[in-house]
């Protein structure tokens, strides 16, 4: 329900939590991680961006890149999420995935700049799944990459930002054809005919018509 609330607040990432959960579980299974870990991972991945509930819309939904100040605010979704859920004692083991999924092996992540093994495996698995989904989804600031392009970028990040074992697991799962991606391409409305257009011009949609999303498979 909480993850659904984030998707509602930020329609560009609708379904993001579900996909990150699915990819995270595939990665963990490929890594032969125990069932108890998978159960914690499932809930943690589903809730990893819950702190976005506390980020103002003008930042969360801003098209184009964020200013440095806005990015500093955006970064707080990690600690905000953990703080929202900290009172729920049953979720204590899930908190590292929520608070630390933007940490990077090289120490250049956030919120704390942790390095390597200082970052719990839970957060390292979610980070790979999260990066893959972010790259293969249309965002206000980016057209989706193809899965092959995304995996190329992710391979480059292995050992630098992302856990190499989790990256290798994602690649193995993808190469077996187990990841199907639904990609949404934005279909722009057709501009209305110009006044000087000939009478035979086919009437087009008005510019007031909303941009439609067309679902395609890749
Ligand atoms: Fe996040």
Q: What is the pLDDT of residue 139?
A: 80
**Calpha distance 170→24 (Å, rounded):** 9
What's the CA-to-centroid distance between 2 and ligand 1, angstroms?
14
What's the CA-to-centroid distance between 110 and ligand 1, angstroms?
10
What's the CA-to-centroid distance between 52 and ligand 1, angstroms?
8
Same-domain check for residues 203 and 167: no
Spatial CB neighbours of 180, under 8 Å, sequence gap ≥ 6:
217
Q: How many domains in the chain? A: 2
What's the CA-to-centroid distance between 101 and ligand 1, angstroms?
7
Q: What is the pLDDT of residue 185?
A: 46
Residue 64 has pLDDT above 90, yes or no: no
Q: Tell which wins on pLDDT, 34 or 12.
A: 34
What's the CA-to-centroid distance between 196 and ligand 1, angstroms?
49
Q: Tell which wins on pLDDT, 203 or 143.
A: 143
Same-domain check for residues 138 and 201: no
Same-domain check for residues 114 and 211: no
What's the CA-to-centroid distance between 34 and ligand 1, angstroms?
25
| CATH code: domain of residue 174 | 1.10.3210.10
What's the CA-to-centroid distance between 24 and ligand 1, angstroms?
14
What's the CA-to-centroid distance between 79 and ligand 1, angstroms?
10
Residue 197 has pLDDT above 60, yes or no: no
Q: What is the full DSSP assignment across 131-199?
A: HHHHHTS-BTTBPPPPHHHHHHHHHHHBTTTB-HHHHHHHHHHHHTT----EEEEEEPPPPPPPTTS-T
Q: What is the pLDDT of residue 199?
A: 43
| Average of per-residue pLDDT across 100-104 | 98
What's the CA-to-centroid distance between 98 and ligand 1, angstroms?
8
Same-domain check for residues 171 and 211: no
Same-domain check for residues 191 and 101: no
Same-domain check for residues 21 and 123: yes
Structural domain that includes position 218: 183-218
Same-domain check for residues 65 and 127: yes
Same-domain check for residues 128 and 209: no
Same-domain check for residues 83 and 100: yes
Same-domain check for residues 187 and 117: no
Same-domain check for residues 59 and 125: yes
Residue 118 has pLDDT above 90, yes or no: yes
Q: pTM for the whole thing?
A: 0.82
Same-domain check for residues 99 and 207: no
Mean pLDDT of the chain: 85
């Amino acid at each position: 329900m909480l993850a659904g609330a984030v998707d509602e607040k930020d329609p560009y990432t609708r379904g993001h939590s579900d996909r990150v959960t699915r990819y995270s579980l595939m990665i963990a299974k490929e890594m032969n991680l125990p069932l108890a870990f998978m159960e914690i991972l499932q809930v943690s991945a589903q809730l990893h961006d819950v702190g976005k509930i506390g980020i103002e819309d003008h930042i969360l939904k801003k098209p184009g890149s964020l200013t440095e100040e806005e990015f500093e605010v955006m970064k707080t979704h990690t600690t905000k999420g953990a703080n929202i859920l900290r009172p729920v004692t049953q979720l204590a083991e899930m908190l590292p995935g929520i608070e630390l999924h933007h940490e990077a092996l090289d120490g250049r992540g956030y919120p704390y700049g942790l390095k390597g093994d200082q970052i719990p495996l839970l957060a390292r698995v979610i980070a790979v799944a999260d990066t893959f989904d972010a790259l293969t989804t249309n965002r206000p600031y980016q057209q989706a990459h193809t899965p092959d392009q995304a995996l190329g970028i992710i391979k480059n990040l292995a050992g630098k930002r992302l856990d190499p074992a989790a990256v290798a697991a994602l690649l193995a799962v993808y190469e077996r054809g187990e990841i199907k991606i639904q990609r949404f391409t934005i279909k722009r409305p057709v501009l209305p005919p110009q006044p000087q257009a000939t009478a035979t011009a086919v009437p087009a949609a008005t510019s007031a018509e909303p941009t439609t999303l067309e679902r395609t498979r890749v």
